[in-house]
Amino acid sequence: MWFKNARLFQLDKDFAIDSENLDEALKAKALKPCGPQQLSSAGWVSPFGPESDLFVLQSGQGQLFCLGEEEKILPPTVVNHHLQEKLASIKKETGSPVGRQHKTELKQQLIFELLPQAFVKPKRTQAYFDNALKLLVVDSASQNAAENLVSHLRDALGSMTATPFAESLAVSGMMTTWLNQGRAEAGLTFGHEAVLEDTQENGGVIRARKVDVLADEMQSHLENGYTVKEMGLVYNERIEFVLGNDLAVRKIKLTDVVLDQLDHAVMESDAQMLDTHFTLLSLELRELFKTIFRIFPVS
């Protein structure tokens, strides 16, 4: 269940929901399989897997849950192939080509006929409430996908304020200063990737991976007006990640310093393993987020 990403949403300071009520709210909006004519379906699933009816895992002040989605896979090439066969058959019978409007209607009819035979692609997006920091943390590299989960969560809970962090010139400025000075702060050290952008007219973007970010070439880009949009960092030798100027945390990887703790943990079931992993992950990320918010104050 390790999170690869952490899209952060600020909750109201008085937000609170106990796990029993959260579990009931999510169950009421549980995922229903795609119907024969549905393109997609979305709803909540158990983080423990399909055999469990527990929709929330609580560990300390963290509450883990999971959005499930199903999408019918109907490739355009398949639809177009059947459509061309249909058009050719009609032309052969009538001697005239099919008009644009009729062609559109035929295409919609084919989609309707083919949908029941389409493969279903499942998707799972994990998230959790950090009630200590009043955060919603979504495991998604995409802001749109994270917003989709928030929308479904808001629908399940009736009302909820969850505010994303916007791109910030102050965050870019601080990371640019670190790179200029050759050092970060507060237990953060440089990783091996960065995204630089030119905020001037040409809007150029430089993506550097598996590089020495302190190399002369990178300094040259900064001298030419580029600023840091994303920066690979390591926190206290415990978490490797990429920090964006919108405070999104991507490519999360716990180091051996952290994972070695699991060698001494006794896990007798998958449920216990999930609990142990979530406890470890949420506590490590909480310390990282606290540090990030100290460096980049948010209102």
Query: For residue 124, what pLDDT is reported?
Result: 96
Distance CA 281, CA 5 (A): 12
Residue with structure tokens 């990887």?
253
Query: For residue 218, what pLDDT is reported?
Result: 86
Query: For residue 1, what pLDDT is reported?
Result: 66
Query: For the whole model, what pTM was predicted?
Result: 0.86
Query: For residue 285, what pLDDT is reported?
Result: 97
Distance CA 206, CA 260 (A): 36
Candidates 288, 162, 176; CA nearest to 230 is: 176
Low-confidence residues of the chain: pLDDT under 50: none
C-alpha distances in Å from residue 154, one per residue of 61, 129, 136: 20, 13, 12
Query: For residue 211, what pLDDT is reported?
Result: 86
Query: For residue 201, what pLDDT is reported?
Result: 66
Task: Parse the chain into domains and list their residue ranges.
Answer: 7-74+117-164, 76-116, 169-295
The average confidence (pLDDT) of the chain is: 90
Tokens of 192: 């091996």
Asked if 194 and 176 count as a contact pair (C-beta separation under 8 A), the reply is no
